[in-house]
Amino acid sequence: MEILRDAGLSALIASDRLETLADGFEFTEGPLWLPDGSILFQDIKAERTYRLGPDRKVQVLREHTGAANGQTFAADGGIVFCEQTGRRLSWMSIRSPEPVALALDWQGKRLNSPNDVVCRSDGSAYFTDPPYGVKPEDREIEFQGVFRWTADLGPVKLLEDFEKPNGLAFTPDERTLYVCDTGRYHVRAFRVREDGDLEPGVGRIFATLDPDQAGGPDGIKVDRAGRVYVAVALGVWVFEPDGRLLGILATPKRPSNLNWCDADACGLVITAVDAVHYVRFHEPGLPPVFLPRE
């Protein structure tokens, strides 16, 4: 276990090493823990969804995924996920993983390349739409935005002034939405109104990342105490709620995303290029709001 720039992070970690659960993939993303102890994750480049069982056996759950990326649980117990080259926000049941499109376009224009998604306790889904999976000549939306999806309205634009919007997460009270901008190497924070819209204005910069190498902020998660965990070059960067850096949990390769796991939510699963890693913390994280029961 290597902690860089340690300013309190080592005291939060219960493990004595970063464990590799599985490796040999092309580009892992979107880890999601199930109450039976298994972990779903994506291999974007291979266009496969995998299920990693408690016995460490890996099986292919779905192929030809449209380069599925970030995913989370929906209010109905299904899984809502982003398709990078499929260019849509989709839903599937874990028991019958045939996808159903939730959003293909905004105001008649095809989405760029949905990347990551988080659900709010009112059932709405917030997702980012950078252009990673679409050719420039095929783009119909000129900006790279953040959208809120509801069953009644479909996708509604919330933000458009990003260079490369990526991971997003709520604070425990759902009053603040964090959004990573990979291109600008910072995380921004926006106040959320009761109706799910954002307070007017451009938000504030919560943290600026300086890894001194290529690899801006990607996935992001929050723990129950409000600490913020960001996948960036060098590893997982952990911040106090006030933006103070606690340290960086180093990973062998650049991490892409992360999520809380285990029944007590003290485990953290991390996807990083060709592998899936695991580490335990002393304090619990904040699992998806619609985490299903067994």
Give the tens place of pLDDT for each residue, 188-241: 999 999 999 999 887 999 999 999 999 999 999 999 999 999 999 999 999 999
The answer to whether residue 293 sits within a structural domain is no
CA distance 20 to 206: 31
Domain that holds residue 82: 3-280
Tell me the three-class secondary structure of 32-95, residue by residue: EECCCCCEEEEECCCCEEEEECCCCCEEEEEECCCCEEEEEECCCCCEEEEECCCCEEEEECCC
* Confidence band, pLDDT 50/70/90 cuts, at residue 135: very high
Mean pLDDT for 15-29 is 98
pLDDT (0 to 100) of residue 95:
86
The answer to whether residue 207 sits within a structural domain is yes
Indicate if the pLDDT at residue 43 is higher than 90.
yes
pLDDT more than 90, % of the chain: 97
The answer to whether residue 269 sits within a structural domain is yes
DSSP secondary structure letters along 125-145: EEEEE-STTS-GGG----SBE
Contact 200, 191 (CB under 8 A): no
Looking at residue 290, its amino acid is: F
pLDDT (0 to 100) of residue 222:
98
Q: Report the C-alpha dihedral over residues 27, 33, 38, 39, rounded to 10 degrees.
A: 0
The answer to whether residue 240 sits within a structural domain is yes
Looking at residue 83, its amino acid is: E
Indicate if the pLDDT at residue 70 is higher than 80.
yes
Structural domains in the chain (count): 1
CATH number of the domain at 268, please: 2.120.10.30
Please list, in sequence order, all residues whose beta carbon lies within 8 angstroms of the beta carbon of residue 226, skipping any fewer than 6 positions away: 171, 172, 240, 241
